[in-house]
Structure 1
Amino acid sequence: MPKSRYFAPTGGLPAQTDLLTDRAVFTNAYAVIPKGTMRDIVTSFLPFWDATRVWVIARPLSGFAETFSHYIMEVSTGGGSDKPELDPSAEGVLFVVEGQINLCFEGADHALQEGGYAYLPPGSKWTVKNNEQSPARFHWIRKTYETVEGIEAPSFFVTSDQDVLPTAMPGTEGKWATTRFVDPADMRHDMHVTIVTFEPGAVIPFAETHVMEHGLYVLEGKAVYRLNQDWVEVEAGDYMWLRAFCPQACYAGGPGKFRYLLYKDVNRHMNLSLR
């Protein structure tokens, strides 16, 4: 089977002779979960999922992610679920990084291969199966949908990384671009899950400081990321969580493109009640 362009964890354990030192960081402003920490012993299982294990890399927690959860799912041959989502208020995004899954939404089948993307509205009926001869690995990002009177919930859709033309950031000559799977002006959506791409040597040339919470999974390449007051090296397979207002910037290290799957909360008033 051809190697995927995207990094996906496979578990296992390091040798007893390996050094303990790693790049994992957890602060009150950001966290870095390196790919080397995604081992067998930190996987879990989910109700009504067969032949499936999951790495939970973000979840609502005081001092950590507040608006979303982020899973990496590994579904073995014949595995999947006829009852995957138990929360009727949860919307979701699936992004396949290895193998292929069969997504059945409201009775219609969709084959999602590497780079495949699906948006799942709250309260919808869907199932996932792996009918192939190799494991499938995909990201599943979940958020409680924030309803607004007079605005309907978003509709289900499927697309892929390969089918969406990236939008270049102004003034960057295409060196920094974002693959936007939904229109940013579509007020039905209260979260965006996009792919950000930097050419080798490209930069975020200022310390972004904003209200949007972020989850970033590095799909390809490497970079040096500025998180709060620290410069942190990251590479394909690493995950970063950034609290609202955490300053952020980066330099793409090369030799290839630096790409990450990005979550952010958007298009809603700020909740004024204490959590």
Structure 2
Amino acid sequence: MSDTPYASPPGGLPPQSQITTNRAVFTPSYAVIPKGVMTDIVTSNLPFWTDTRAWIIARPLSGFAETFAQYIVEVAPGGGSTQPEPDSSAQAVLFVVSGSLKLSANNTENILQAGGYAYIPAGCDWQVENISDAAVTFHWVRKRYEQVQGIDKPEFFVSSDHDVTPVPMPDTEGCWSTTRFVDPQDMRHDMHVNIVSFEPGGVIPFPETHVMEHGLYVLEGKAVYLLNTDWVEVEAGDFMWLRAFCPQACYASGPGRFRYLLYKDVNRHPKLGK
């Protein structure tokens, strides 16, 4: 879209003349949902949402995401919801990629533009509305909050990609950085939703292998990404899911920077059984 640097689903429907083969893949270790499959016919309607459709790109499922759900939500002018969240134990992050969204929560009203970010704690009463004359598109990441005795729940806050200074990774000369909306040492939070950025030629120089589950939505640019044993080319608008301990690395192939919205579960002991 011309008014935003962030990718969003193209919608529509490919012509009958298009070949079927593409980059979509679903494995026990990872999945790739490329932008080309995010068409009109794979959207979902949601209870108590009006003039809204959603691409649900991750959900708790045996052999797939275990800790979170992620939606790309498109709301037409005048649409929204006064009852968006059906689960009182679910916390949320909203990240706007285009348009203008009115978010009412915690006795405040906030207008989130492209790049706008909101953290909504579990049990918070919130509503969203598109009060503009154009569609608004945003990511909605949901996770059940894991309460720890003696640690307070995090509070509602709003921020923006434009207002947070990225933190460079050590010894990378700024080629690899992370926009952190939450302090990693804040034990109140059991999930982080950050933006990771690579300048052209920047790399993750080793196969990261760790306990955190990942959801990665490519906001900008393109790269070659290592997923388990496979090198996969990805671009703006693609989504990747990585299960815990799935090896990952990447090489930002340019010509512009490569950025993705990253979900991960953090700051809690692994559960021992169900």
Task: Indicate the TM-score class for this superposition, using the shorter chain for normalisation.
Answer: over 0.9
Match of 2:36, SS state, is helix
Where 1:118 maps in the other structure, the secondary structure is: strand
Asked whether the equivalents of residues 11 and 40 of structure 2 are also in contact (C-alpha less than 8 Å), the reply is yes
How far did residue 2 of structure 1 move? 4.1
Unaligned runs of 5+ in 1: none
User: The residue matched to 1:77 in structure 2 has which SS?
Assistant: strand
Once residues 184 and 4 of structure 2 are traced to their aligned partners in structure 1, the CA distance between those partners, rounded to angstroms, is 29
Task: Report whether the alignment pairs 1:122 with 2:122.
Answer: yes
Q: Which residue number in structure 1 is paired with residue 31 of structure 2?
A: 31
Partner of 2:9: 9
Deviation for aligned residue 1:86? 1.0
Task: Among all aligned residue pairs of Structure 1 and Structure 2, give the percentage whose two residues are the same amino acid.
Answer: 68
Q: Does residue 232 of the first structure (1) align with residue 232 of the second (2)? A: yes
Within 5 Å, give how 1:1-275 maps onto structure 2: 2-274=2-274
Is 2:203–2:251's contact at 8 Å kept on the other side of the alignment?
A: yes
The alpha-carbon deviation at position 273 of structure 1 amounts to 1.1
* Partner secondary structure for residue 162 of structure 2: helix
Note the C-alpha offset of 1:147. Answer: 0.2
In the alignment, the residues of structure 1 paired with residue 266 and residue 188 of structure 2 have an alpha-carbon distance, to the nearest angstrom, of 10
Q: State the distance in 2 between where 1:130 and 1:35 align.
A: 24
3-state SS in 1 of match to 2:53 = strand
Shift in Å, 1:135: 0.3
Unaligned runs of 5+ in 2: none
- The CA deviation at 1:10 is 3.5
Q: Using a 3 Å threshold, how does the CA distance of structure 1 residues 162 and 74 change in structure 2: closer, same or farther?
A: same
User: C-alpha displacement at 1:121, in angstroms?
Assistant: 0.2
Once the two structures are TM-superposed, the CA of residue 109 in structure 1 deviates from its matched residue by 0.6
TM-score for both structures, normalised by structure 1: 0.99
Matched to 2:73, the amino acid is: M
Q: Give the count of matched residue pairs.
A: 274
CA distance in structure 2 between the partners assigned to 1:106 and 1:29 by the alignment: 39
| Distance (whole Å) between structure 2 residues aligned to residue 16 and residue 62 of structure 1 | 33
Runs of 4+ in 1 over 3 A off after TM superposition: none
Residue 105 of structure 2 aligns to which amino acid in structure 1? F
**In structure 2, distance between residues paired with 1:106 and 1:199:** 37
- Pairwise CA RMSD of aligned residues? 0.8
Tell me by how many angstroms 1:106 deviates.
2.6
